[in-house]
A and B are shown apart, each in its own frame.
Chain A
Amino acid sequence: MATDTLFRGGSEYKYGFVTEVETDTLPKGLNEDIIRALSQKKGEPAWMLDFRLKAYRKWLEMSEPRWSNVSYPPINYQDLCYYSAPKKKPALNNLSEVDPEVLKTFARLGIPLDEQKRLTNVAVDMVFDSVSIGTTFKKKLDDAGVVLCSISEALHRYPEIVQKYLATVVPIGDNFYATLNSAVFTDGSFVYVPKGVHCPMELSTYFRINDKETGQFERTLIVAEEGSYVSYLEGCTAPAYDNNQLHAAVVELIALDNAQIKYATVQNWYSGNPQTGEGGVYNFVTKRGRCAGVNSKISWTQVEVGAAITWKYPSCILQGDNSVGEFYSVAMTNGRMQADTGTKMIHLGKNTRSTVISKGIAADFSHNSYRGLIKVVPKASGARNYTQCDSMLVGANCSANTFPYIEVGNATSQVEHEASTSKLNEEQLFYFQSRGISTEDSINMIVNGFCKDVIKELPLEFATEAQKLLTLKLENSVG
C-alpha cells in the first residue's frame, strides 16, 4: 500500500530529504504588499484579498499565545517566506506537466501519481510547499458529486460555497496563528459532499514542506450537506533542516443536519535532532468542526508522532440538537519534542454528546501535555461527555501533564473524566520476551494495547501502518 512510507518514520527520520526544484517564491517578510502579491499570483477574487487584509490587520494587533506548556525562542515572522511554488505548474487534471522532481518526491514518499499504482479506494490531493500538485480519482468523485480539490481551485470553481463557509467555524480573528493563516494561507484542501451523498471512497491529502524558509499555511474546508457522509485523512512530512519551519494550518469542518464527518490525521513532520533538539517543524494548528445540524456528527482522530512542537486542539462546536463530537488522539513525543494537544467540546444544543479519548506517550527528554475543555452552556440540557486521558511514560527523563478544564452550566448534563499514568518499562518488555515474543512485537503489543481505543477509529487502510509507526518511533527509546 502506497502510504506505507508515510508511516515508516522509524527512529531515523526517512523523509528528511530535500527536492531540488525551481520555485516561484515571493521575497521574505510580511506586509500588505506581500499579501496583495500572493493574492494576485493566485488570481483570487477581490473579497478574498479583503479577507486576507482584514486578517492581517487584526494579526498585527495580536500577540503570540504563551499559555501552552511548551518553550521555544521567538519567531521572526519577517524572516519567513510566505509563498513558494514549483515553477512548472500542472494544468488542471493533467499531472504529466508537473515538474518531474516533484513527482519523484511524492514517489519517494510513497504517494504514486500514476494510475496503476494508486491507492485503491483512496483519493489523494498533494500539497507541496504552498500549492496543490494534483488530485487522484477525480472522475470517480465527480460521478458521485463529491468535490475534492485544492482550496485555490475551489476559489475559482466554487466561490459561493467557499465564501459562504470560510471562517464560519474559525473566525478571522480567532487566535494568533489562525489569524496569520487567514492572512497568508496558500493552499489546502476543499471537500464538498452534496446532500444525501455517502462519499464512495476515503479522501486524503498529503502535505509536504520542502522549502527551507517557507512557512506552510494550509487551509482546509470540509462541508457535508444534509444526510451526507465523508471520511478524510491527512498525512504530513518535511525535510530535516537545522532551522525550524512554521506550519500554521486552519481546518474547518461543517456538518449540516444528519451529516457525518470523520477527520483523521497522521502527522509525522520532522521533529528535530533527537539529541540537540535543533530544527524541526513548529506545528501550530487550529482545527475546529461545527456540528451545525441536528443529529450531525464530527469525529477527530489524530496520530501525532512528529513536529518539534505541537500546539493543537481539534474541537467540536455541538450546535445542533443531538449532535455528537468525538476526539480520539494518540500523541507520541520522543527526543526533545514538545506537545501540548487536546480538544474542546462545546455543548450548545440539547442532548449533545461528546467522547474524548486521549493517549499520550512520552519518551526520552520530551514533554507531552493534554489540554482539554468541556463546556456545557445553560441551555444544553441533557448534554453528556466522557473523557479519558491516559499517559504512558517511557524512561525517566520525560514528562506528561493533563490540564482538563470543565465548565458546566446545566444541571441535567453529565460530565465524566478519567485519567491514568503508567510506565512502559523493562519489566513489561521482559515479561513478553520471556514468553518468546520478540522485542519489536513486544513494544508493538504493549503500545498498541495502550492506544487501541484510538487506532481502531482510523480508516482500516491506515490503522496497521499507524501501529507500525508507533512501534518504530519508540524502538530506540525503550530499554
Chain B
Amino acid sequence: MIEIKNLSASTEGKPILKGINLTVKPGEIHAIMGPNGAGKSTLAKVLAGHPSYEVTGGEVWFKGQNLLEMEPDERAHAGLFMSFQYPIEIPGVGNVAFLRAALNANRKARNQPEISLQDFEKILAAKMSAMDIKPEFKERNLNEGFSGGEKKRNEILQMTLLEPDLAILDETDSGLDIDAMRVVASGVNHFHNDKVGLILITHYQRLLDYIKPHIVHVMLDGKIVQSGGPELAQELEERGYDWLANPSAEEPST
C-alpha cells in the first residue's frame, strides 16, 4: 500500500527526518511511538504534503504512485488521509458544507457523480451517530469553538466519510478523556478492515489498548530505531525510550 524508502525531510533548513523506511500493507495497523521531537508528526505531515516541509531525500510509493510528486489534494484523492493533531478552526465555514465539499471533491476526482445534499445528510447522520456526535454539530462552523475532544471526533468522522485506503492518525488520543477515547477507538476499529492500512502516531501506549497494532515502531531523532510486535509498546511503557537511544549502556558487560 505504502512504501517509504529512506525518506529525509527538513523544515527551515533543519533536518527532521533522517532516513525513514516503512512499509504498510492493506489491513495492517502500524503504531509509531517515540518521545517529543522525534519527528513523528513531521512524518505524518510530509506524507500528507504539508508545504512547510522540504523532502531532501528518499521516495514514497503509494498504491503504485509517486506520492511525493502529488499535491496534497491529489494525495487525498488517491486515498490518503491524515487526522490532524491540532485541527484548525475555520470561522464562517459550516461543518456540513465542508464535509460535503470534501466528499464531492474526492468523488469527482474518482469520476463518481456528486452526492446530493439529501443523500449526503443521510450518510452523515449515520456516521455522526456512530461517533456519538450531537446533531448541533451540523449547525456549527468547522472546528470553531470545539473542545479538543470534539475536534478529534470530527477528524475521525471525516475519515469514516472519506473512506481512505490509508489513514495516518497523528496523536488522535491526546486531549481525549477515557470515554471520548473509547468512542474514537471504536470509530477507528469499525472503519478498519483488511483493505485499509492504518498508521497510529502516539506518545503513549494507552490508545493501543483500544486499537491493537500489528507492528510497533519506535522513532528517535528522525529514524525508526526499533520495530516489533505489540509487546514492544508494552516494553516502552515500562522502560521508556532511553535504552533505545543508548543501547550500549543497557547491554550487560561481558
Q: Is the CB of B51 within 8 A of A426?
A: yes
**Does the CB pair A452–B102 fall under 8 Å?**
no
B115 contacts partner chain A, Cβ-Cβ < 8 Å:
no
Question: Bound complex: CA of A435 vs CA of B84, how far in Å?
Answer: 11
In the complex, the answer to whether A449 meets B105 with C-beta atoms within 8 Å is no
Asked if B92 and A435 make an inter-chain contact with CB atoms under 8 angstroms apart, the answer reads: no
Please tell me which stretch of B20-28, B55-63, B93-101, B223-231 contacts chain A, meaning at least 4 of its Cβ atoms lie within 8 angstroms of it. Answer: B93-101
* Chain B proximity of A341: nearest CB distance (Å): 20
Stretch with Cβ within 8 A of B (4 or more), from A136-144, A251-259, A364-372, A438-446: A438-446
Chain A nearest Cβ from B1, distance in angstroms: 18
Which of B51, B71, B76 is within 8 Å of A435, CB to CB? Answer: B76
Minimum CB–CB distance from A444 to chain B (whole Å) comes to 9
B37 within 8 A of A: no
Is there a chain A Cβ closer than 8 Å to B240's Cβ?
no
Query: Which chain B residues lie closer than 8 Å to A432 at the CB level?
Result: 98, 102
Residue interface mask A421-463, B partner, CB < 8 A = 1: 0100011101111111111010001101111100000000000
Interface mask (B43-87 → A, CB under 8 Å = 1, otherwise 0): 000001111100000000000000000011101110001101001
- The CA of A207 and the CA of B102, in the complex, are separated in Å by 39
Check if A452 sits within 8 Å of B84, measured CB to CB: no
Contacts of A29 in B (CB 8 A): none
CB-defined interface of A401-437 with B at 8 Å, one 1/0 digit per residue? 0000000000000000000001000111011111111
**CB–CB A450/B72 < 8 A:** no
Q: Is residue A479 within 8 Å, beta carbon to beta carbon, of the partner chain?
A: yes
Residues of B within 8 A of A427 (CB): 88
The interface residues of chain B lying within 8 Å CB-to-CB of A451 are 92
Q: Shortest distance in angstroms between B109's beta carbon and chain A's nearest beta carbon?
A: 7
Are the CB atoms of A433 and B76 closer together than 8 Å?
yes
User: What residues on B are CB-neighbors of A449 within 8 Å?
Assistant: 90-94, 141
Do A430 and B91 touch across chains, with their CB atoms under 8 A apart?
Answer: no
Task: Report if B106 contacts A (CB, 8 A).
Answer: yes
A437 to B158, CA, bound (A): 13
A479 touches B84 (CB 8 A): no
B residues near A426, Cβ cutoff 8 Å: 51-52
Contacting B76 at CB < 8 Å: which of A434, A448, A479? Answer: A434
Chain A residues in 8 Å Cβ range of B50? 430
- Chain A residues near B72: list those with CB within 8 A: 430, 433-434
With both beta carbons as reference points, the residue of chain B lying nearest to A448 in the complex is identified as B92
B92 in contact with A436 (CB, 8 Å): no
A448 to B52, CA, bound (A): 25
Q: Residues of B contacting A428 with CB < 8 Å?
A: 88, 90
A-contact 0/1 string along B146-178, CB 8 Å cutoff: 000000000000100010000000000000000
Pairwise interchain contact B101-A445, C-beta atoms closer than 8 A? yes
Q: Are A439 and B91 in contact (CB under 8 A)?
A: no
Evaluate contact between B98 and A445: CB separation under 8 angstroms: yes
Is there contact, CB below 8 Å, between A433 and B90?
A: no
Chain A proximity mask over B133-150: 1 for CB below 8 Å, otherwise 0:
000000001000000000
Rounded to whole angstroms, the CA-CA distance of A359 and B162 in the bound complex is 33
A437 touches B88 (CB 8 A): no
Decide if A446 touches B76 in the complex (CB within 8 Å): no
Given A430-B51, A441-B105, decide whether A435 and B158 contact each other with a Cβ distance below 8 A: yes
Alpha-carbon distance between A437 and B101 when the two chains are bound, in angstroms: 7
A41 to B201, CA, bound (A): 78
Given A428-B90, A431-B90, A437-B105, residue A479 in contact with residue B51 (CB < 8 A): yes
Which residues of A lie under 8 Å from residue B93 when comparing CB positions? 445-446, 449
Least CB distance, A457 to chain B, in whole angstroms: 15
- What A residues does B76 contact at CB under 8 A? 433-436
- B88 x A433 contact (CB < 8 A): no
Least Cβ–Cβ distance between B103 and chain A, in angstroms: 8
A435 engages B102 (CB within 8 Å): yes
Residues in chain A near residue B52, CB distance under 8 A: 426
Is there contact, CB below 8 Å, between A438 and B105? yes
Pick the most buried of B71, B84, B101: most chain A CB atoms within 10 A of its CB: B101
With A433-B71, A436-B106, A437-B73 as known contacts, state yes or no: A422 contacts B91, CB within 8 Å.
Answer: yes
Q: Decide if A436 touches B82 in the complex (CB within 8 Å).
A: no
* Distance A434 CA – B102 CA, assembled complex (angstroms): 9
| CB-based contact A446/B105 at 8 Å | no
Determine how close the nearest CB of chain B comes to the CB of A475; give it in whole angstroms. 15
Chain A minimum-CB-distance residue to B80: A434
Is there contact, CB below 8 Å, between A436 and B98? no
* Chain A residue nearest to B78 in the complex (CB): A436
Which residues of chain A come closer than 8 Å to B102, judged between CB atoms? 432, 435-437
Bitwise interface map of A from 465 to 479 toward B, beta carbon under 8 Å scored 1, else 0:
000000000000001
Q: Which of A73-113 contact B (CB under 8 A)?
A: none
Q: Contacts of B90 on A, CB cut-off 8 Å?
A: 428, 431, 446, 449
In the complex, A187→B109 CA distance in Å?
51
* Closest Cβ–Cβ distance, residue A453 to chain B (whole Å): 8
Q: Bound state CA distance, A438 and B73, in angstroms?
A: 6
Instruction: Give complex CA distance A437, B162 in Å.
Output: 12
Q: Are B88 and A431 in contact (CB under 8 A)?
A: yes
Q: How far is the CB of B127 from chain A (nearest CB, A)?
A: 15
CA distance A449 to B75 in the complex (A): 25
Find chain A residues with CB under 8 A from B92 CB.
446, 448-452
CA distance A427 to B106 in the complex (A): 20
Tell me whether B101 and A441 are in contact (CB under 8 A): yes
Contacts of A435 in B (CB 8 A): 73, 76, 98, 102, 105, 158, 162
Q: Which residue of A lies closest to B84 (CB)?
A: A431
Does A431 contact B97, Cβ atoms closer than 8 Å?
A: no
CB-nearest residue of chain B relative to A447? B92
Task: Give the one of A435, A436, A446, A479 with max B CB within 10 A.
Answer: A436
A359 smallest CB distance to B (angstroms): 9
Residues of chain B within 8 A of A448, CB atoms compared: 92
Give B161's nearest chain A residue, CB to CB: A435
Minimum CB–CB distance from B69 to chain A (whole Å) comes to 15
In order of increasing CB-CB distance, the 5 nearest A-B pairs are A449-B92, A436-B76, A449-B93, A435-B102, A433-B72
List 12 A–B pairs whose Cβ atoms lie within 8 Å, in order of A's numbering.
Answer: A430-B49, A430-B50, A432-B98, A434-B72, A435-B76, A435-B105, A435-B158, A435-B162, A438-B105, A446-B92, A451-B92, A479-B51
Q: Which B residues lie at the A interface, using CB under 8 A?
A: 48-52, 71-73, 75-77, 81-82, 84, 87-88, 90-94, 97-98, 101-102, 105-106, 109, 141, 158, 162
- 13 more A-B contacts (CB under 8 A) besides A430-B48, A431-B87, A452-B92? A426-B52, A428-B88, A430-B50, A432-B102, A433-B73, A434-B72, A434-B81, A434-B82, A436-B106, A437-B101, A438-B73, A449-B92, A449-B94
